[in-house]
Structure 1
Amino acid sequence: MNIEDAMHPKADWASADMPVSEVARMMVTDDIGAVPVGKDDRLIGMLTDRDLAIRVVAARRDPDRTLAEQVMSPGIVFCTTHETLEDAIHLMDQKKIRRLPVLDENKRMIGMLGIGDIAHAVGQSLAGELLRAVAAHHR
């Protein structure tokens, strides 16, 4: 199966200089737990709800003055539209991650692929194996 058939299309990303309070509002509005962060038209990291909880709330930082780039998880792992869903599953398993930005042939983000998207696209057995694999490091 193709990644484009399973992904969540039209995903947004946050600017590196965006206050995390705005990123959190994006998460609420879109009902998501992670937002890719970009700078100079390139993805540079991912800001997750966990990043917000640990690096902002627990650290008692002001969410209106703290910028996405200051508390995001740096680096970006992604998949491309020419890969198969199985390729993405193996990458998520290998990197122990739950979400992947999807890039097109021009390296533009066109969607997000998450565990929930995969669960709807593949059988329960494969989805269950992936969930166990990516959740294993949180024990």
Structure 2
Amino acid sequence: MKVKDAMHKGAKWVGPETPISQVAKMMKDLDIGALPVGKDDRLIGMVTDRDITCRGFTDSADPSKLTAEKVMTKGIVYCTADEDIEDAIRLMEAKKIRRLPVIDDKKRMVGMLSLGDVSYAVARNLSGEVITAVSAHHS
């Protein structure tokens, strides 16, 4: 099975200057836990609900002035739409990540692959492996 057969199509993203209040509202409205951050037509990071909570409210900065770029996890791990889903799963396991942006052959983001998508698309033992790997305590 290919990633494109399991992913959520048409994922949203935000710019680095987007206020975290707007990012949080988008997450709530879309019922998602992460949004990729793009700049100059490239993905540069990912903002998760945990990033907003841990970086947005625990540092001494005023949360009303924070942007996606200030709280995002820098760098981005992604997979391609035509990649075998097993390869994407191994990447999720190795990097201990729950969501992967999916790009096409023109390097355009075309979707997101989440643990939930994986659990519906592959055999129970394989989805159990990835869930166990990414849920393991980070050392």
**TM bucket, shorter chain:** over 0.9
Aligned length: 139
Aligned counterparts, 1:29-48, within 5 A: 29-48=29-48
- Secondary structure (helix, strand or coil) at the match of 1:110 reads strand
User: What corresponds to 1:25 in structure 2?
Assistant: 25
The Cα of 1:59 is off from its aligned counterpart by 2.5
Letter in 1 for 2:39: K
Task: Report matched runs for 1:49-128 at 5 Å.
Answer: 49-59=49-59, 61-128=61-128
CA distance 1:25–1:60, shift in 2 (3 Å): farther
Deviations along 1:44-93, one digit per CA (max 9) or x if unpaired, are 00000110111112225433310110110000000001211001001001
Do 1:96 and 1:137's aligned partners in 2 also have CA atoms closer than 8 Å? no
Q: What SS does the aligned partner of 1:101 have?
A: strand
| TM-aligned CA deviation for residue 138 of structure 1 | 4.2
For residues 4 and 25 of structure 1, the distance between their equivalents in structure 2, rounded to whole angstroms, comes to 27
> Does 2:129 correspond to 1:136?
no
| Distance (whole Å) between structure 2 residues aligned to residue 62 and residue 109 of structure 1 | 32
Q: Which runs of 5+ in 2 are unaligned?
A: none
| Contact persistence 1:8–1:111 (CA under 8 A) | yes
Identical amino acids, percent of aligned pairs:
56
Query: Could you tell me how far 1:36 is from its partner in structure 2?
Result: 0.3
Gaps of 5+ in 1: none
* TM-score, reference length from structure 1: 0.95
C-alpha separation in 1, matches of 2:129 and 2:18: 36
The alignment's TM-score, normalised by the length of structure 2, stands at: 0.95
